[in-house]
Amino acid sequence: MFLRSVVLFFTLAFAAIASAAPNTLLVMGDSLSAAYGVNTETAWVALLRSRLDKASTDDWEVANASISGETTDGGLRRLPELLERHQPSIVIIELGANDGLRGFPPTVTRNNLKAMIEQAQAINSRVLLVGMQLPPNYGKRYTEAFAAIYPDLAESEDTALVPFFMDNIYNQPGMMQGDGLHPTEKAQPRLLENVWPHLEPLLED
């Protein structure tokens, strides 16, 4: 009887610990998510952590694996180890801008993002794909092919989609740093607002 009680106690204790374990949200991004040129504490990923604490009844940890200059090729190579380490419930994929700026073929970017989505979904992670667009000086044909990658993948791979991460930012006064590529500190809350409506439903699944 005593042994049975001890076994029951530890079974319930481990179950309680498991139920209290936080979910993990993994951000796979480039400089736009790596706080380039802004204070880390004011960057949109840090703001996301604060929003999750207030908006969700579940416990969430945010693992930011974003690296400035990252391409979809680099993200694809790093992702398996990160998935194994964090076992994320949600993966935000914010990659591709550097592919476009370097003139990578859109098919290469698409295939890399598709492979990342498939790897995340293989461990039952929910995926939020963050759409990007290029400046018009890259040419109409290339910019349109690049922009189409994200909605096409979101539909074919059944993922959530942020239509355009930099919406209402890239062309607004005070929202871009001097290089014309990176959002300012002032723009960080707006980046989060562009992400949040598409992320929030995934938190409730």
Catalytic one of 5, 19, 179, 205:
179
Active site residue 179: yes
Supply the angle between the helices 106-122 and 140-157 in degrees, to the nearest 10: 20
The residue annotated as part of the active site, out of 66, 125, 182, 198, is: 182
Distances, alpha carbon 39 to alpha carbons 43, 48, 108, 173, in Å: 6, 14, 33, 20
Residues 130 and 163: their CA atoms lie apart, in Å, by 7
Q: Would residue 99 show up in a list of annotated catalytic residues for this protein?
A: no
Q: What are phi and psi of 64, to 5 degrees?
A: -95, 105
Question: Catalytic residue among 30, 31, 99, 125, which?
Answer: 31
Sign of the CA dihedral with 139 first, then 143, 146, and 148 last = negative
Q: List phi, psi (to 5°) of 28.
A: -110, 100
The DSSP symbol for 91 reads E
Residues involved in catalysis: 31, 179, 182
